[in-house]
Chain A
Amino acid sequence: MAGWANISQLKEKIAQGSAEEVTASYLERIKKSRTNAYTTVWEGAVEKAREIDEQGHNGPLAGIPIAIKDNISTRGISTTCSSKILQGYVPPYDAHIVERLKDAGAIILGKTNMDEFAMGTSTESSCYGPTLNPWDMERVPGGSSGGSAAVVAAGEAPLSVGSDTGGSVRCPAAFCGVVGLKPTYGTISRYGLISYANSLEQIGPLATCVSDIAALMDVIGGHDARDSTSVKTESVYKDALVDDVSGLRIGVPAEYFGAGIDPAVENSVWDAIQLFEELGASWEQVSLPHTSYALAAYYIIAMSEASSNLARFDGTRYGYRKEGENWHVMASRTRAEGFGAEVKRRILLGTYALSAGYHDKYYLKALKVRTLVKQDFEQAFREFDCLMTPTMPTPAFKLREKVEDPLALYLADVNTVPINLAGVPSISLPCGFTDGLPIGLQIIGKHFDEATVLRAAYSFEQNTEHHTRRPAEVA
């Protein structure tokens, strides 16, 4: 049984058996799953794997299955952002990263569940219903890439891809006990990623271990001429996998251990920091004074951009359509019925924040605060190589616990959104458990210094066992 195998283990299995067997075993497991983590399972996966067996493929991910978040465009495979408004939409083109994955020989297993249009922290706002946390089926997997994290945690895919606008890769990675990276803004082409808040978001990989994250980054990272914000980098992420943190200067921002933090989370993170110290790193407290304003600034910017990004869903060219006596009425009804409650709230708030009379008070103000948040990081990184914090202030919460209170849900993102405002890279990896629920450690790096983040994460993983624990419920 493939299940939780990593890339090198899978390569052995493929060499001894076949890619077809590996893919089939995952599909078998998906069939029995109760997590509701997939929105679409691709029926062509087995045949594609057989093709690779027959024709051979020397790509770095030849025959390795992968799951893709439902907001990333896949040619010929339904892509809906877990929204009713995109029901029936089958893209005619592949996202840049999907092209890269196919070229590398990866087998797409299917599309993963998410909060509708990536707007959420629990994967409960999906039109397909919530994804369940493999560690406790009464709890949320985090979000918005809840499906992408849950499939890796449940052994329903060895690797997956999510997107992170304000923590959407790292939050579910933390809640599901897997590794998730949000790279520096501009590192991975967004071509084909259906925008929620385009100045903030990045595609990010999820996996059971840091080395698989690096391997995936080597495939999907790098410049793409179709994304104007894509940066020319020549990183080889695998080179960062060195078990050595001696001399590493760690900053610990006090603001990230604020009110509402679960004591078990706090303890696990401090244990982790202590371990780094034992391994030769040093740490010091640091202050990022504008952290408490980051959340409001983030939501204003994200909602403003979203209100424009989601304007194209009007029923005219694709997706859901509710007729009306004229085009404007049709668009208004289509959008009223096609979008869920939270998406509509965010569009309305974003529209309001950009509208005449409020633009400066909300939108422009938020962008100025963004500058201050970014400067906090720049200041901190003059003294430190990386920062360490809890990814989420608590472990996974119960299903429906926060559905009715949007603001409470927003507050859960307090430790992840500042990173997106600044555009810096950050990883979440398992650093402990409380009552059987995983806890995530967040390591934040300088712009384009994924190498340090990966090296620290890899070293931690080499010296701990947390990442090897598997949820009993799905074993």
Chain B
Amino acid sequence: MVYENPDGVKIGLEIHVQLNKLNTKLFCGCSTDYHNAEPNTHVCPVCLGLPGSLPVLNKRAVEFAMKVGLALNCNIVEQTQFHRKNYYYPDLPKGFQTTQYDYPIASRGKVVIDGEDGERIIRITRAHMEEDPGKLLHMGSIEKSKGTLINYNRSGMALIEIVTEPDMRSPKEARRFLDKLRSILEYLDVFNGDLEGAMRVDANISVMGGDRVEVKNISSHKGVEKAALYEIMRQKNFVRRGGKVVLETRHFDEQRGVTLSMRSKEEEHDYRYFPEPDLVPMRVADRVPEVIKTLPELPDAKRERFTSQYGMADMHAKALTSDIKVANFYEHVALKVDPGAAAVWIADVLKGELNYRDISVDAFKVEDMAEIIELVTGNKITERSGVEIIRTILDNGGTPAAVVKEKGLIKVEDDIVTKAVTEALAENPEALQDYLGGKEKSLNFLVGQVMKKTAGRSDARTTREMLLERISELPPK
């Protein structure tokens, strides 16, 4: 099936990713671990922009940025130099942002996503390093606020800004791209997407060959999808009424799900970029081979390996590899139990239960998962009981053994079922006759009788098979 893209939607993204797995900020030794800290406790003369302070570049931040660039199939620049992007805003303590300009550390890459109609290549224009501004808290709405509180703990955090070509044709593709990007970044161990503000997105959206509109500072993948849906609708309606979409910047109101124009004198910029005299050029291209060696297996490669090594369906491989933690969890479980069963149980059951509760796989123990799969494949418990154990552990804690015991989930021994089958047939001769006479429904009645006798601890399918077997063995009348 070919996706026609009837509205000519083009979406390009600019994604600000905090390299929050670094120990320190981009240009100073302040800790990155500020998320639960008091305001303005993770700052020093450098990230507070005190007069006379000077930046010194975090070596590991450069390595992280190179890893990201390489993982996105980019070229790494030969030589580059940080620039100053000059503009005034209270979250910017130096009155400029230190960023890369004409020579980004990485450029011209690509990422493959599952698009509307199969694989789709999203081209990466560039990825550059820069520093994060501080955080503003408006007392009231931004226009009518009584004042602004400024916390510089975030100031100077290392960011990598990833810019794509406008290659996404629907809000869903934009979201899939972001999911894939997050997955890659977490594989690289440079990024923890669970932390607040870890990823912020600007989306450039156009329809039917019109000018693009930039929607700024969206904080979630879902938000990007929603903002794009709204913006496409707005632009289409505008064009339908005879309007012409012009280049502009809009702000996304996450609560109301709408985008709002933010044209004002304060938003007019002339950034006056020039090379930062306090930082010297960096030449890192010769380190590329060394950094490549440190790259982990990435999601696409892992997905392929999972299908070939464990013989699982591609659907399962995809589900298991989109999150590095789930992939690692799976491989640990697969060491202990049948990998095929593990793939089904983790991809189809556990992941769904985790998503439903919006929790990470960290909440579940490898040993518990292996034990549950053993119980099911060993025919000790029913599949339904397996699901019930997972839910109980996620909701209330405990171990599989304890849940089994508490809920009496162990499957009844076969001889008990055999006995119940014999009894049921003896006690219900009419039903047997009806079945033999061609009434299929009567078999269901008998199955029900057997299960009643075993208090539900035998499953329907087994009971049905045993009944049929016994009936076929009956001497003809």
So, do A and B actually touch in the complex, CB under 8 Å? yes
Residues of chain A lying within 8 A (CB to CB) of residue B272 = 307-308, 351, 354-356, 359
Q: Is the CB of A228 within 8 A of B50?
A: no
Is residue A38 contacting chain B, with contact meaning CB distance below 8 A? Answer: no
Q: Is A176 an interface residue (CB 8 A)?
A: no
Q: Does B48 contact A (CB under 8 A)?
A: yes
Residues 330-374 of A, flagged 1 when their CB comes within 8 A of B and 0 if not, give 010000000000000000000100111001000100000000000
Q: Quick one: CB contact mask for B140-163 with A, threshold 8 Å, 1 for yes?
A: 000000001010000000000000
Are B49 and A312 within 8 A (Cβ)? Answer: yes
Inter-chain CA distance A190–B53, complex, in Å, is 8
Residue on A nearest B272 in the bound complex, by CB: A354
Of the candidate stretches B82-90, B116-124, B331-339, the one touching chain A is B82-90
Of all chain A residues, the one with the shortest Cβ separation from B82 is A228
For A194, the chain B residues whose CB sits under 8 A away are 51-52
- In the complex, which residue of chain A has the Cβ closest to the Cβ of B29? A226
Verify A93–B45 contact, CB threshold 8 A.
yes
The reply to whether the CB of B95 lies closer than 8 angstroms to some CB of chain A is yes
Q: Which residue of B lies closest to A328 (CB)?
A: B266
Which secondary structure dominates where chain B touches chain A? loop
Q: For B86, list chain A residues within 8 Å (CB).
A: 307-308, 311, 354
Task: Give residues of chain B (45-91) contacting chain A, Cβ–Cβ below 8 Å.
Answer: 45, 48-57, 84, 86, 88, 90
Chain B residues lying within 8 Å of A79, measured Cβ to Cβ, are: 51-52
Chain A nearest CB from B83 CB (Å) reads 10
**Could you tell me the distance in whole angstroms from the C-beta of A195 to the nearest C-beta in chain B?**
7
Please indicate the chain B residues that have their CB under 8 angstroms from the CB of A351 in the complex.
272
Q: Does B310 contact A (CB under 8 A)?
A: no
Contact yes or no, A312 B266, CB < 8 A = no
Contact bitstring A283-308, B, C-beta under 8 A = 1, else 0: 00000000000000000000011011
A363 to B55, CA, bound (A): 23
Pick out which of these stretches binds chain A: B179-187, B255-263, B277-285, B391-399: B277-285
Q: Which residue of A lies closest to B266 (CB)?
A: A328
Complex interface: chain B residues within 8 A of A314 (CB): 88, 90, 95
| A residues near B84, Cβ cutoff 8 Å | 308
Please tell me if the beta carbons of B56 and A91 are within 8 angstroms of each other in the complex: no
Alpha-carbon separation in the docked complex, A310 to B270 (Å): 17
Q: Does B126 contact A (CB under 8 A)?
A: no
Least Cβ distance of B95 to chain A in Å? 2
Out of A91, A92, A226, A311, name the residue touching B96 (CB < 8 Å): A311
Q: Which residues in A have their C-beta under 8 angstroms from that of B48? A: 317
Task: Report chain B residues within 8 Å CB of A81.
Answer: 51
Does B364 have its Cβ within 8 Å of any Cβ on chain A?
no
* Interface check B39, CB cutoff 8 A: no
Residues of B within 8 A of A304 (CB): 274
Report if B210 contacts A (CB, 8 A).
Answer: no
B93 beta carbon closer than 8 Å to chain A: yes
Residue from the set B57, B94, B270, B272 with the largest chain A CB neighbour count within 10 Å? B272
In the bound assembly, the distance between CA atoms of A328 and B270 in angstroms comes to 15
Contact A312 B93 (CB under 8 A): yes
A199 touches B277 (CB 8 A): yes
Residues from chain A with a CB closer than 8 A to the CB of B53 are: 93, 191-192
Q: B88's contact among A72, A193, A198, A331, by CB below 8 Å, is which?
A: A331
B52 lies within 8 A of A95 (CB): yes
* Chain B contacts for A355, CB-based, 8 A: 270, 272
Measured CB to CB, the closest approach of chain B to A362, in angstroms, equals 11
Chain B hits for A448, CB < 8 A:
none
CA gap between A328 and B48 in the complex, in Å? 19
Q: Name B230-274 residues within 8 Å CB distance of A.
A: 265-266, 270, 272, 274
Collect the chain A residues with CB atoms within 8 Å of residue B270's CB.
Answer: 355-356
**Contact, CB under 8 Å: B93 / A192:** no
Question: How far apart are the CA atoms of A194 and B52 in the complex, in Å?
Answer: 4
> Closest CB of chain A to B348's CB: distance in Å?
53
- Check B52 against A228 for contact (C-beta < 8 Å): no
| Alpha-carbon separation in the docked complex, A307 to B274 (Å) | 11
A89-B51 CB under 8 A given contacts A226-B56, A228-B57, A328-B88: yes
Q: Is the CB of B56 within 8 A of A228?
A: yes
B28 CB to nearest chain A CB (Å): 9
Known contacts A311-B86, A327-B148, A354-B272: A192-B94 contact under CB 8 Å: no
Known: A73-B51, A79-B51, A311-B95. A229 touches B280 (CB 8 A): yes
Contacts of B52 in A (CB 8 A): 71-73, 79, 91, 95, 190-195
Encode contact with B along A42-60: 1 for CB under 8 Å, 0 otherwise. 0000000000000000000
Closest Cβ of chain A to B50, distance in Å, is 7
A9 at the interface (CB under 8 A from B): no
Please indicate the chain B residues that have their CB under 8 angstroms from the CB of A227 in the complex.
54, 56, 278
A-B interface, 6 closest residue pairs, ranked by CB to CB distance from nearest: A311-B95, A199-B277, A354-B272, A194-B51, A73-B52, A198-B277
A-B contact sample (4 more), CB < 8 A, given A190-B54, A192-B53, A312-B95: A93-B45, A190-B278, A191-B53, A355-B272
Supply 29 A–B pairs (Cβ within 8 Å), ascending by A. Answer: A72-B52, A73-B50, A79-B51, A79-B52, A81-B51, A86-B51, A91-B45, A91-B50, A190-B54, A191-B52, A191-B54, A192-B52, A193-B52, A194-B52, A195-B278, A198-B277, A228-B55, A228-B278, A229-B277, A229-B280, A308-B84, A308-B272, A312-B94, A314-B88, A316-B150, A317-B49, A351-B272, A355-B272, A359-B272
